[in-house]
Structure 1
Amino acid sequence: MSTTYSNTPEGGTNLTTSVKGRALWAGLALALGVPTLLALYSPKSWFPGAGQTVSVAIGELCFWLLAAALLLTVRFGERSPWSSMGLGKPRWAGLGWGLVAGLALLLLYPLIQGLLKAVGLDPSQMNSLDLKTLPPWMVIGMALRAGIVEEVLFRGYLLERLGTLFGQRQLGALLSLIFFVAVHARSWSAGHLIFVAIAGAFLTGLYLWRRDLWTNILAHTLTDGVGLLALRFAPA
Structure 2
Amino acid sequence: MPAQNDPTTVAPPYVDATGERDAFERPTVVGLVVALLGIPALSFAARTLSVGLHPVAEIALLWSLLGVVLGVVFVWEDRPLRSLGVRRPDRIDAAYLLAATVLGFLALAATGPLVEMLGLAQSGQTGMGVEEYGVGIAVAAAVTTGVVEEVLYRGYAIERLAERSESALVAGGLSWAAFTVAHAVSWQLGDLLQVALAALVFTLVYVRRRSLFAVVGAHVLIWLLGVLGAVYG
Report deviation, 1:43.
8.4
Q: What CA distance in whole angstroms lies between the structure 1 residues aligned with 2:74 and 2:223?
A: 28
| Structure 2: runs of 5+ lacking an equivalent | 2-10
Q: Does residue 41 of structure 2 align to residue 37 of structure 1? A: yes
Residue 4 (structure 2) aligns with: none
Residue 27 (structure 1) aligns with: 31
SS in 1 for 2:124: coil
Report deviation, 1:138.
1.2
Q: Does residue 11 of structure 2 align to residue 12 of structure 1? A: no
Q: Does residue 188 of structure 2 align to residue 189 of structure 1? A: yes
CA displacement, residues 55-89 of structure 1 (integer Å, 9 cap, x when unaligned): 22212111112112222322332222221221012
Q: What CA distance in whole angstroms lies between the structure 2 residues aligned with 1:22 and 1:140?
A: 36
Matches within 5 A, 1:91-130: 91-121=90-120, 123=122, 125=124
Identity of aligned residues (%): 27
CA contact (8 A) 2:108 2:197 kept: no
Q: What CA distance in whole angstroms lies between the structure 2 residues aligned with 1:234 and 1:189?
A: 25
SS in 2 for 1:42: helix
Report deviation, 1:44.
9.8
- TM-score, normalization by structure 1: 0.80
CA contact (8 A) 1:151 1:216 kept: yes
Structure 1 residues 194 and 22: alpha-carbon distance in aligned structure 2, compared to 1, 3 A threshold? same
SS in 2 for 1:184: helix
Q: Which amino acid aligns with 1:105?
A: G
Structure 1 residues 119 and 149: alpha-carbon distance in aligned structure 2, compared to 1, 3 A threshold? same
Q: What CA distance in whole angstroms lies between the structure 1 residues aligned with 2:143 and 2:76?
A: 26
Q: Which amino acid aligns with 1:139?
A: A
Matches within 5 A, 1:42-53: 42=46, 45=49, 48=51
Report deviation, 1:228.
4.1
Which region of structure 1 is more displaced relative to structure 2, 157-166 or 209-218?
157-166
Q: Which amino acid aligns with 1:182?
A: V
Q: Which amino acid aligns with 1:183?
A: A
Report deviation, 1:91.
2.5
Q: Which amino acid aligns with 1:13?
A: D
Instruction: Name the count of aligned residue pairs.
Output: 220
Matches within 5 A, 1:66-105: 66-105=65-104
CA contact (8 A) 1:125 1:189 kept: no
Residue 161 (structure 2) aligns with: 162
Report deviation, 1:234.
7.3
SS in 2 for 1:41: helix
Report deviation, 1:14.
7.2
CA contact (8 A) 1:85 1:156 kept: yes
- TM-score, normalization by structure 2: 0.81
Report deviation, 1:10.
9.1
| Structure 1: runs of 5+ lacking an equivalent | 16-20
Pairwise CA RMSD of aligned residues? 2.9
CA contact (8 A) 2:44 2:186 kept: no
